[in-house]
Amino acid sequence: MRDYMQGARDSLPIMLGVMPFGITCGVMGLAAGLTPAETILMSLLVFAGAAQFICITMLGAGITGWGLIVFTTLLINLRHLLMGASLAPQLLKLPLARQILLAFALTDESYAITTNRTVQAGYSANYQMGSSWALYFTWALSTIAGVLVGSYIPDPLAWGLDFAMPAVFLAMLVPRLNNPVSVAVCLVAAVTAVVGAAYLPGKWYIIAACVSASIVGGLLEKEENHAV
């Protein structure tokens, strides 16, 4: 129980960062012609901010092809395969029901929080559960709030509240950069992500940066091991 609470508590700053996105999602859903129920149902079942934003934008632009929207969602969320793989050694030891609950609620944010805690105090499934589901309910409730306020807040992101997320991620990243291999991984990821964000469509830059930087990290570490 303590781990659940700790996971939820450590997610508080991120929850603050998720709220403006959830509200925006609700507002955008209505603006794109979805009904309130459809907008909320999407947040409850899909729970993937970036994919929802892009698909809502497509729907608003009159693109309603089932295959196209579902395939776009798949591409945007492919990065979760990597995160799932990186947590797999721990998750595979759990009962199937918990694996499914944790996999369903796996997001960039809960992944970052969970791995951060894993470095400091070891992996805890309860901690990940607390963090993931706290973020799930934040997302669901803020989408509902967005649908309710509808046209009153035209653009919550204009306040700059979305900065809460990069700020918390910085607090997690900086302590990790305590050895040359990690610094190299960070640099490769930074360059790839910036170039990718400028030239690749959608969220592909995350996959590109993740794959290239982690491979560099793996290769560098191998060389170091040989040298010792």
Partner 1 sequence: MRFEMLLIIAGMAAVTFFTRFGALALLKKTGLPCWFERWLRHVPTAVLTALIVPALLLPQGRVDLSLSNHYLLAGILAAIVAYTCRNAMLTMGLGLTAMLSLRWLGI
- Report 117-156 residues binding partner 1 (CB under 8 A): none
CB of 19 to partner 1, least distance (A): 12
Dihedral pair phi/psi, residue 145, rounded to 5°: -60, -40
Sign of CA dihedral 82, 87, 88, 94: negative
CB of 140 to partner 1, least distance (A): 13
Question: Could you give the CA distance from residue 38 to residue 217 in angstroms, rounded to a whole number?
Answer: 43
- Near partner 1 in 49-88, by CB under 8 A: 51-52, 55, 59, 64, 66, 69-71, 73-74, 77-86, 88
- Near partner 1 in 168-227, by CB under 8 A: 168-177, 181-182, 185-186, 188-190, 192-194, 196-198, 205-206, 209-210, 213-218, 221-222
The residue range among 20-28, 39-47, 135-143, 148-156 that interacts with partner 1, by the rule CB under 8 A, is 39-47
Is 99 near partner 1 (CB under 8 A)?
A: yes
Question: How far apart, in Å, are the Cα atoms of 144 and each of 18, 31, 36, 93?
Answer: 13, 14, 8, 36
**How many residues of this chain interact with partner 1, rule: CB under 8 A?**
92
The per-residue DSSP string of 105-173 comes to: T--HHHHHHHHHHHHHH---HHHHHHHHHHHHHHHHHHHHHHHHHGGG-S-GGGGTGGGHHHHHHHHHH
Q: Which of 31, 140, 145, 161 binds partner 1 (CB under 8 A)?
A: 161
